[in-house]
Amino acid sequence: MSNNKSFSHQPSYSTRPTLRVDLAQIRANYDALKNKVGAAKIGASVKADAYGLGAVPVAKALYGAGCRIFFVATAGEGKLLRDGVGPNAAIYILNGPAPRDKGVLLGAKLKPVINSMEQARFWGEVAESVNEPPYTAIHIDTGMNRLGLSHEDAVELGRDKRLWKALNPEWVMSHLACASDAAHPMNKTQLQKFRKAAAQLPLTPLSLANTAGIYLGKPYHFQMVRPGIGLYGGVATNKPGQEVSTPVATLLAPILQVRWVKAGETLGYNATFTAPRDMRIAIVGAGYADGIPVNESNRGTAILHDEEVPIVGRVSMDLTMIDATNANLAVEVGGVVIFRGKHLEAEAKSAGTINYELLVRMGQRCRRDYWKPKKTDEGKKPGKPMERFTN
């Protein structure tokens, strides 16, 4: 007599969460933003691994849409991007040059953004010591008080013809602090300071606007804009109705267990939630290591079968508990609960943070699921049949 036990059939699933990125929609967002800025070039911000979505596949999608200018924060990011997109893209390093990065900057033909006179003098010496040094960009601080040359620095650099020639800048740029609010007086103040400082330098193409700055209108566009969050479908201004981007990233968390808890029982670490009634709880395989903030504990929501369901108990490193008591459709092991996507802004508000942070904090252990149009569908709107690429 056989001792083999039969097991009920379970659907095929993984305990690993999936980050689904719609590359077709990224290209559509790029095109929509480009239509708003006319002749101005677009320099895509793909720093922090393209806001957590994968710098190389995102940059390749943007390259296919016609983008040839990319901005990252560090030389290491730039080297990875160069290896991914090839020799024809211009890759700028926003944090600027540093002695330990010299070999990477030169070897990968990365273009440093000069943020101080110290960086200017250092890179000027490097440039004069090598054949065909990469071009640079000059960053002027106009009110952020982060990186950037002061107005006095700009005057000094403009007078130092040898240093200017050694740096060989392609762009003069600054960064807006309050562009999300079109009525904020700092926008016009920064615009005036930028024009005044740029006038101290040899005639060079200018760049000021981030995604939010695009919506301030043509005076802010100059010769190049540098969108980031708008490429990924995040809201950039306090008037979302004017924006042309659509979210591109969805986090899919597998249901690992479904259990009933009785009224009065507690859930999770520190017993922060006590069941007010008998409840059906879905435990899903994603936690704060995958970008679900602890601040969402007992206050955030997720999406199950297109229904909004509460997060209950404390979000832990690998797991989150969902109240599925009132879900109208089946709640089964192997199903998925959805975070981000079109609910990105609501999640950010619930967690007391910003959409940027929710995107970049989705952990590297997520399986990446990239979608782009089939070759026969190139040029068609998103929503047509898709090809899937995973890693």
CA dist 233 and 231 (Å) reads 6
pLDDT band at 324 (very low <50, low <70, confident <90, very high): very high
pLDDT band at 386 (very low <50, low <70, confident <90, very high): very low
Contact assessment for residue 151 and residue 201, using Cβ atoms and an 8 Å cutoff = no
* Predicted confidence (pLDDT) at residue 387 exceeds the cutoff of 70: no
Average pLDDT of the segment spanning 59-79: 97
Tens-digit pLDDT profile for residues 89-142: 999 999 999 999 999 999 999 999 999 999 999 999 999 999 999 999 999 999
**Residues designated catalytic:** 47, 269
* Predicted confidence (pLDDT) at residue 62 exceeds the cutoff of 80: yes
Same CATH fold assignment for domains 22-242 and 249-377:
no
From residue 111, how far is each of 107, 116, 135, 170, 385 by CA, in Å?
Answer: 11, 15, 6, 10, 38
Alpha-carbon Rg for the chain, nearest whole angstrom, is: 24
CA dist 54 and 300 (Å) reads 26
Q: CB atoms < 10 A from the CB of 286, how many?
A: 31
Burial class (CB in 10 A: 0-12, 13-18, 19+), 245: buried
Contact assessment for residue 68 and residue 80, using Cβ atoms and an 8 Å cutoff = no
Closest CA to 71 of 53, 50, 52, 101: 50
What per-residue confidence (pLDDT) applies to 371? 82
Domain map (residue ranges) of the chain:
22-242, 249-377
CA dist 151 and 243 (Å) reads 33
Q: How is residue 240 written in tokens?
A: 């979302």
On whether the 249-377 domain is CATH 2.60.120.1440, my answer is no
pLDDT band at 13 (very low <50, low <70, confident <90, very high): confident
Closest CA to 223 of 208, 239, 238, 206: 206
Q: How is residue 282 written in tokens?
A: 């879905």
Average pLDDT of the segment spanning 6-10: 47
On whether the 22-242 domain is CATH 3.20.20.10, my answer is yes
CA dist 31 and 244 (Å) reads 10
Parallel/antiparallel/unpaired status of strands 169-173 and 136-139: parallel
**Cβ neighbours for 180, distance < 8 A, ≥ 6 positions apart:** 212, 236, 237, 238
Contact assessment for residue 172 and residue 135, using Cβ atoms and an 8 Å cutoff = no
Tens-digit pLDDT profile for residues 169-226: 999 999 999 999 999 999 999 999 999 999 999 999 999 999 999 999 999 999 999 9
Single pTM value for the model: 0.90
What per-residue confidence (pLDDT) applies to 10? 55
* Predicted confidence (pLDDT) at residue 384 exceeds the cutoff of 70: no
What per-residue confidence (pLDDT) applies to 315? 97
Average per-residue pLDDT in the chain?
A: 92
